Structure 1
Amino acid sequence: MGTGKRGLLTAALTVVCAVTALAAPGTAFAEAARTPAPTPSGSPAAPTPPPNKDLEKVREQLDGLYHDAAVATDAYNAAEEKAKQQSAEIVSLAKKIVEGQERLKTLKNQAGAAARSQYRTGGLPPTAQFLLSADPGQFLDGAGLVLQGQQATKKLLGEMTRTQQELREYADDASAQWKKLEAGRKAKAAAKKRIERQIDAAEKLESKLKEKEKERLAKLEETAALKAQTAWLDTGVLKDTAGKASTRGEKAVRFATAQLGKPYVWGAEGPDSFDCSGLTSQAWAAAGHPVPRTSQEQWRQLAHVDVKDMRPGDLIIYFADASHVAMYVGDGAIIHAPRPGRTVTVAGAGSMPILGVVRPDA
């Protein structure tokens, strides 16, 4: 079996095992609370001391810092997307300006040719020339030519005026887009500073912990997630959920599954690392159905569905400010890119506060 197939099989088995544990109501949190297994000597292992309040406060602080970093990451990604659109618009306007300038140059050349022709005829306008003619035939021919000349001149002048007006409008639009681009760059730079500040504070906080405290902190986080997942499952939310993934939804899930183990990097959208919305947006792009880049825009623009109606491939939006997103893969599980320092992983869909569910291909 090739390495690619082995990798996909390993990832698929990981998902299956995780989903089996996550989907059983009332068991996930209970498993964490069971009596420790006996030691080799036959006596029960010493129970882990209960988490102290200080360590719980550290966990809450870290959650707050990484949440704020996620909000800033969404702002950064939104500014990045706007910058791409505005840059493309400026390029388009620049092309129109160049084309307009070429057209105006051609029109001016035509006007110059008409002026030179008038000079060669003695400076008399066509109207005066045919009125002074004594030949009736020439008079009639001249009348037609004068009319044509007047219409051509009027058309030429009108086209020159319109072209000059268009050039002014294009220039004004380009200037406005440039100002927006500069404002977007400032917003992106400010968001980047906020992200780096929040992550730096979180890392400094974690660096103060001893190794055993870090282990206990990890257990605290795991316990909190399992408790939330179990409480969510115990509501019976999945009782009537039997939605089958669409063809594109299956492709999106396959893409997300193939990214398991890749690191979270804020602002990243693959192929080697992802942030939360980078993962979901790229998964649906790979499925042939592009979606907005940020979790907040995914929540705002995509069709909302009830949690009980969700199916694999749907996106679950978390927290009241829509600052996190994950892909539902069925049986109460999600695949998501959690936060800095973590990798793309399988988790319980109810392990974080759910804002709602959206369906990209509704």
Structure 2
Amino acid sequence: MSGRMLRLVGAATVAAQAALVPVSATAVPPPPQPGQPSVATLLTDLQRLYRQAERATETYNATAEQLKKQRAESDRLRADLARARLALRGSRAAAGQLARQQYQSSSGLSPYLRLLLARDPQHALEEGHVIGQLARERAGTVSRLAGSEKKADDLAREARKALDTRLALARRQQQARDDVRGRLHEVERLLASLSAAQLAALAEFEKNGIAEAQKRFLASGTLSAGTPPTQEGDRAVRYAVRQLGKPYQWGAEGPAAYDCSGLTAQAWRHAGTPIPRTSQEQWARLPHVPLNRLRPGDLVVYFPEATHVALYLGDGMVVQAPRPGAKVKVSPIAANPVLGAVRPDPGGEPLRRYTPPKLPAGALDGPDAGLYAAGAPVTSAR
């Protein structure tokens, strides 16, 4: 994202900390000035843009993964085609040599006449056997030539098709990149239009709204008392905690920056269990787990479209890369509307003894909402 947007988001955080506009703890926004939109309206508009940007980011990430696989397939086909063409050249050379040998050894007589005219019929019969063997070898060479030609033609068609698919994916990736940038430019324009007082009120209103959502979520009894992670889950949690403070960057998979699913995917890759790259694929392909059975290392997925994801830390908290302008941080689980949870290691055995990683100072600082909309309901998981 641009440095201008980072400065704007940073200004919002500083303004909120300075408490230029006092807001009650019940998340009730102050009345708007005449002719100005309310804080709730501004928050709704801002988070709508963030949500659109993250949807576009997930599309970009998914296309990037498809393109990566298609590149590998194109490279494989290109290597196979090169080998097939080498084999074809060898088959053609062998066929040409056989043709020259047949022309040079041809006497114009049939094998039957050569046998009748031979001085030594037994030798002629043995010679005929050798000739038959050579004929069979020639037939095999011709057959291999035909097979090599067909294989080379088939591989050439597959390679052209794979290249066309690769080019189409590259165009789609470019379109998704432009879409993300366009959405983030809209966020920049909205933030740039706000005063310091509006930015402070916006940040404080969002913060109070998250606190209320977390309070309701915990009071619902949805979460369990806590289950220790598996050894792999522990490694994933500790990896994610080591990334605290690194910036959010859409499409990033580390190590310098992350987007939401880039963080969760890398955490589990370092734990030894590769998982899909995008939050939507993580939600679609990993086993679902009820929230009352959550354990550290599980992934908490947000919004009906599964466009945001975080890694469960325990005690109702998650590690996440929230949104553009924010950093990887520890947040309340209800910072965004929860869709459900998935488990990358469903067959793993929980540790008998578990000591959570120590959080560094400032782990909870900064905005929590990835795409939180004021007043949005927190759904329970299946």
Distance 1:350 1:144, change over 3 A: same
1:315-342 deviations in whole A, cap 9, x for unaligned? 1111010100100011110011111111
Task: Verify the 8 A CA contact 2:57 2:250 in the aligned structure 1.
Answer: yes
Quote the offset at 1:111 in angstroms. Answer: 1.2
1:189 maps onto 2:174 in alignment: yes
Within-5 A mapping of 1:51-130: 52=32, 54-122=38-106, 124=108, 127=111, 130=114
Q: Counterpart of 2:39 in structure 1: which amino acid?
A: L
Out of 146, 164, 168, the position equivalent to 2:131 is 146
1:35-85 deviations in whole A, cap 9, x for unaligned? xxxxxxxxxxxxx97354612101001111000100100110111111111
Distance 1:314 1:143, change over 3 A: same
C-alpha distance in 1 between matches for 2:90 and 2:345: 49
1:33 maps onto 2:25 in alignment: yes
Out of 217, 224, 245, the position equivalent to 2:229 is 245
- Report the TM-score when normalising by structure 1: 0.83
C-alpha distance in 1 between matches for 2:288 and 2:160: 38
Distance 1:123 1:224, change over 3 A: farther
Out of 188, 192, 197, the position equivalent to 1:203 is 188
Within-5 A mapping of 1:238-317: 238=223, 240-317=224-301
**Match in the other structure for 1:38:** none
Quote the offset at 1:237 in angstroms. Answer: 1.1
Distance 1:221 1:168, change over 3 A: same
- Return 5+ residue gaps in structure 1 as ranges: 1-31, 35-47
**Match in the other structure for 1:235:** 220
SS at match of 1:326: strand
- Return 5+ residue gaps in structure 2 as ranges: 1-23, 347-382
Distance 1:109 1:266, change over 3 A: same
Point out the more displaced range, 225-234 or 123-132: 123-132
1:98-118 deviations in whole A, cap 9, x for unaligned? 111111111111112212212
SS at match of 1:355: strand
1:169-203 deviations in whole A, cap 9, x for unaligned? 11111111111111111111111111111111111
- Report the TM-score when normalising by structure 2: 0.79
Quote the offset at 1:146 in angstroms. Answer: 3.0
SS at match of 1:325: strand
SS at match of 1:158: helix
Distance 1:149 1:128, change over 3 A: farther
State percent identity of aligned pairs.
37
C-alpha distance in 2 between matches for 1:138 and 1:277: 79
Quote the offset at 1:219 in angstroms. Answer: 0.5
Out of 180, 197, 215, the position equivalent to 1:212 is 197
Task: Verify the 8 A CA contact 1:232 1:350 in the aligned structure 2.
Answer: yes
4+ residue stretches of structure 1 with deviation over 6 A? none
Count, aligned residues: 318
**Match in the other structure for 1:161:** 146
C-alpha distance in 2 between matches for 1:81 and 1:315: 20
**Match in the other structure for 1:50:** 30
Distance 1:153 1:235, change over 3 A: same
SS at match of 1:282: helix
**Match in the other structure for 1:9:** none
Distance 1:130 1:75, change over 3 A: farther
Q: Which has the higher helix share?
A: 1
Out of 221, 228, 236, the position equivalent to 2:206 is 221
C-alpha distance in 2 between matches for 1:312 and 1:154: 67
C-alpha distance in 2 between matches for 1:118 and 1:125: 13
Task: Verify the 8 A CA contact 1:133 1:139 in the aligned structure 2.
Answer: no
Q: Counterpart of 2:166 in structure 1: which amino acid?
A: L
Q: Counterpart of 1:33 in structure 2: which amino acid?
A: A
SS at match of 2:276: coil
SS at match of 1:33: coil
Task: Verify the 8 A CA contact 1:127 1:146 in the aligned structure 2.
Answer: no
Quote the offset at 1:133 in angstroms. Answer: 4.8
Let me know the Cα RMSD of the aligned residues.
Answer: 2.0
Distance 1:108 1:61, change over 3 A: same
C-alpha distance in 1 between matches for 2:216 and 2:176: 35
C-alpha distance in 1 between matches for 2:108 and 2:239: 77
C-alpha distance in 1 between matches for 2:185 and 2:110: 81
C-alpha distance in 2 between matches for 1:269 and 1:194: 19
C-alpha distance in 1 between matches for 2:109 and 2:231: 74
Distance 1:214 1:108, change over 3 A: same
